[in-house]
């Protein structure tokens, strides 16, 4: 199987449709408007690498027929990016090994605080997820893929950006500092945060995301971490072909 990135979830922290809101039937009729929380899978020649564990991680991996994970990368520890981590227990049970989880030191602290039981001692027969927390280096070799990394600001916290070959996944960011630019240059495909139309203190909103997409000039940009501002069909119909909206299940060759 050729190396592929799968957009597991393209939605903002609320998910789309969002609880408590009503939508026109035409909006709901388009499956691309049903957005689970943001996550991406890298399918390498030697294994699968999961970027973030959304609250829908279990359903996302079942949907895509994913049977095994080589490692998990955590971009940051907002709830929509880690609340599926408990379900990693299924893979730990299957392999009998701790799941390698790559995260920044402050994100590792959050994971220990939110999932203390994953690091505790339990009697035989009690199955909990086990995380082998590892440091994120500027280059990682995982699943047979060479993964380049950098951190970008996401409001007051930082978020991991991941690049494989000429593909870059950049969810949850409010700026691209000069030191992170090498990850964004010379791309074929960029997946980029564009949370909503109105400005947001912690995210790229639409105008800013488009501005950066045009400046960085990959062959194609898919916008992700989308709220319900975006009705997929009508929005894409008004865009040039190099600007697209991501959707759950989108597959991108690496
Ligand atoms: Zn976030």
Give the model confidence (pLDDT) of 107-147 as tens digits.
999 999 999 999 988 888 888 999 999 999 999 999 999 99
- pTM across the whole model: 0.97
Neighbours of 90 (CB within 10 A): 14
Pick the closest to residue 219 from 253, 249, 193 (CA basis).
Answer: 253
With a pLDDT cut of 90, the percent of the chain lying above it is 96
How many angstroms separate the alpha carbon of residue 68 from the centre of ligand 1? 26
How many angstroms separate the alpha carbon of residue 40 from the centre of ligand 1? 14
Give the model confidence (pLDDT) of 80-103 as tens digits.
999 999 999 999 999 999 999 999
How many angstroms separate the alpha carbon of residue 1 from the centre of ligand 1? 32
Provide the pLDDT confidence category of residue 173 given band limits of 50, 70 and 90: very high
CATH 3.60.15.10 fits 4-253, yes or no: yes
How many angstroms separate the alpha carbon of residue 164 from the centre of ligand 1? 22
Record the tokens describing residue 100, joined without a space: 């390698």
> Is pLDDT above 80 for 163?
yes
How many angstroms separate the alpha carbon of residue 128 from the centre of ligand 1? 26
- State the pLDDT at residue 7: 98
> Is pLDDT above 90 for 19?
yes
How many angstroms separate the alpha carbon of residue 95 from the centre of ligand 1? 30
Provide the pLDDT confidence category of residue 207 given band limits of 50, 70 and 90: very high
- State the pLDDT at residue 122: 82
> Is pLDDT above 80 for 251?
yes
CB contact at 8 A, 201 and 170? no
How many angstroms separate the alpha carbon of residue 38 from the centre of ligand 1? 9
How many angstroms separate the alpha carbon of residue 251 from the centre of ligand 1? 23
User: Which residue's entry shows tokens 């893929």?
Assistant: 145
How many angstroms separate the alpha carbon of residue 157 from the centre of ligand 1? 8
Answer whether the bond into residue 17 is a cis peptide, omega within 30°.
yes
Least confident window among 1-5, 166-170, 226-230: 1-5
Strands 39-44 and 167-170: unpaired
- State the pLDDT at residue 125: 82
């Amino acid at each position: 199987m050729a190396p592929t990135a799968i957009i597991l979830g393209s939605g903002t922290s609320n998910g789309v449709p969002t609880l408590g809101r009503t939508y026109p039937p035409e909006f709901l009729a388009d499956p691309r408007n049903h957005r689970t929380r943001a996550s991406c899978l890298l399918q390498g020649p030697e294994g699968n690498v999961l970027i973030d564990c959304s609250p829908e991680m279990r359903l996302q991996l079942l949907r895509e027929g994913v049977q095994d994970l080589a490692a998990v990368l955590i971009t940051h520890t907002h709830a929509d990016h880690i609340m599926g981590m408990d379900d990693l227990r299924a893979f730990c049970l299957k392999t009998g090994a701790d799941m390698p989880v790559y995260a920044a030191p402050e994100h590792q602290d959050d994971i220990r605080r939110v999932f203390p039981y994953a690091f505790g001692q339990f009697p035989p027969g009690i199955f909990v997820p086990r995380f082998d927390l590892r440091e994120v280096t500027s280059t990682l070799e995982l699943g047979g893929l060479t993964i380049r990394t950098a951190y970008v600001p996401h409001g007051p916290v930082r978020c991991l950006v991941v690049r494989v070959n000429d593909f870059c996944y950049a969810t949850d960011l409010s700026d691209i500092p000069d030191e992170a630019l090498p990850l964004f240059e010379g791309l074929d495909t960029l997946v980029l945060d564009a949370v909503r139309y109105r400005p947001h203190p912690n995210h790229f909103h639409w105008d800013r995301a488009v501005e950066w997409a045009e400046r960085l000039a990959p062959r194609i940009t898919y916008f992700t971490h989308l709220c319900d501002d975006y009705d997929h069909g009508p929005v894409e119909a008004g865009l040039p072909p190099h600007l697209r909206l991501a959707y759950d299940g989108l597959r991108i060759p690496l």
